[in-house]
Amino acid sequence: MNGKDNLKHFDDPLLSGLKEKKLDRTGVTASNEASTRHKGGNYRLLLGLLAITALAVLGFYIFQAQQQLGQLSAELAESRTELQDVSRSLADSKDEIASLNEGLGASDQKLASQGQQLARYKTLYSNLKTDQEEQTRELAILNVQKADQSDVNALKDEASDLRSTATQIQSDLDRTSTAVSNLEQTTSANRNDIDQTRVDLQQVRSATETNAGDIGDIRRSLEREYYNFELQEKGGYMKVFDVSLSLKDADVRKKQFDMYLLADGKVIRKKDQSINEPILFYVSGKQKPYEVVVTRVDDKLVVGYLSVPKI
C-alpha cells in the first residue's frame, strides 16, 4: 500500500463519521430505532458483566502484587534483624579487643617491673660473687687462723639462696614472654575477625538496599490511572485522557477490530486486533508505556479502557 492509500485510510474515519451523522439526521426509520434500543439494552447488560469481570481480574492482580510486596517487606525486616545481630557482634568484638589491650598493657608493665627486678638481682648476684671471692679469701685466712667453721657454712647457704632466686626470676621472665606472645596472636586473630565482620556487614547492607529498591519498583508499577471508553464504528475520534481513539471496523464473529490511535501528533493503526490484547505505546515525557485494552467487541461497537502511568 502506498502513501496515498494510507492518507485515504486516515481520512476515512473522519469523513465517514460526518456522512453517518448526516444520514442519521435525515433517514433513520422507526423500526431501526426500536431495534437499536433493544440492542442497547443487551449491550448494557453485557457491558455490566464485562465490567465486573474486568474488576475481578484487576483485583486478582492487585492481590498478587500486595502478596509479593508483603513477602519483600518480610525479607527486608529479616535483613534488618541480621544487620542488628552483626552490629551487636561487632560491638562485642570491640569490647573484647579493648579488654585484651588492657591486659596487654598490664602484662607489659609487669614485664618491665620484673625486668627491673631481674637487673637488681643480677647486680646483687654480681656483688655477692665479689663478696664471695672476698669471703673465700677471708675463709682461707680463717682456715689458716682456724676460724669458726659455722660462719663459712652460713655464707655458702646465703650464696645458694641467691642463685635459686635468680633462677626463679629468669623462669618468671620466660613465662611472661610466652604469655605476651600468645596475647599478641589472640589480638591479631580478633582483628581478622573484625575485618571479616565488617565485610559481612557491608554485604547485609547491600542486600537490604536491593530489597528496598525492589519494593519501591513494585509500588511504582501499581501507580496507574484507568480511563474507560466506548467507540462507535466510523464515529470519529474520541478524546480519552490525552489520547484520541477512532474505531475503523469491528468483527463480532472473530472478536477483532481495527483502530486508529492519535498520540503526540502521530497516528497509529492497529489492524485485526483481538480483544483483551494490550496495545502498548510510549508518549513523550513518560518513562512507562500507555496501554489500550478492548474488553468487548459488538456490532459496530467496542468497549475498553486506557491505562496510563501516574509518573
Buried b (16+ CB within 10 A) or exposed e, 209-239: eebeeebeeeeeeeeeeeeebebebbbbbee
Residue 164 lies in a domain: yes
Q: Identity (one letter) of the amino acid at 198?
A: R
In terms of domains, do 85 and 214 share one? yes
In terms of domains, do 153 and 285 share one? no
In terms of domains, do 177 and 272 share one? no
Mean pLDDT of the chain: 78
Domain that holds residue 291: 224-309
Instruction: Give the number of domains in the chain.
Output: 2
pLDDT for the residue 301: 95
Residue 170 lies in a domain: yes
| Three cell numbers written together for 254 | 472473530
232 strand-pairing partners: 301
pLDDT band at 10 (very low <50, low <70, confident <90, very high): very low
pLDDT band at 277 (very low <50, low <70, confident <90, very high): very high
- Residue range 38-94, pLDDT digits in tens: 666 788 888 889 889 989 988 888 888 888 888 888 887 887 888 788 678 778 878
In terms of domains, do 215 and 298 share one? no
- Residue range 203-245, pLDDT digits in tens: 867 776 776 666 655 665 568 999 999 999 988 999 999 999 9
pLDDT for the residue 6: 46
In terms of domains, do 116 and 203 share one? yes
pLDDT over 50 at 112, yes or no: yes
Residue 133 lies in a domain: yes
Give the CATH number, domain containing residue 199: 1.10.287.1490
Q: Where is the domain boundary, 206, 221, 236?
A: 221
In terms of domains, do 103 and 79 share one? yes
- Residue range 144-196, pLDDT digits in tens: 555 556 665 776 777 677 778 778 878 877 887 787 688 788 878 878 888 88
More confident residue, 180 or 18: 180
In terms of domains, do 206 and 251 share one? no
pLDDT band at 138 (very low <50, low <70, confident <90, very high): low
Overall average pLDDT of the 126-147 stretch: 65
Residue 161 lies in a domain: yes
Alpha helices of 145-236 — where are they, by DSSP H?
149-221
Task: Quote the crossing angle between the two packed helices 149-221 and 30-144, to the nearest 10°.
Answer: 170
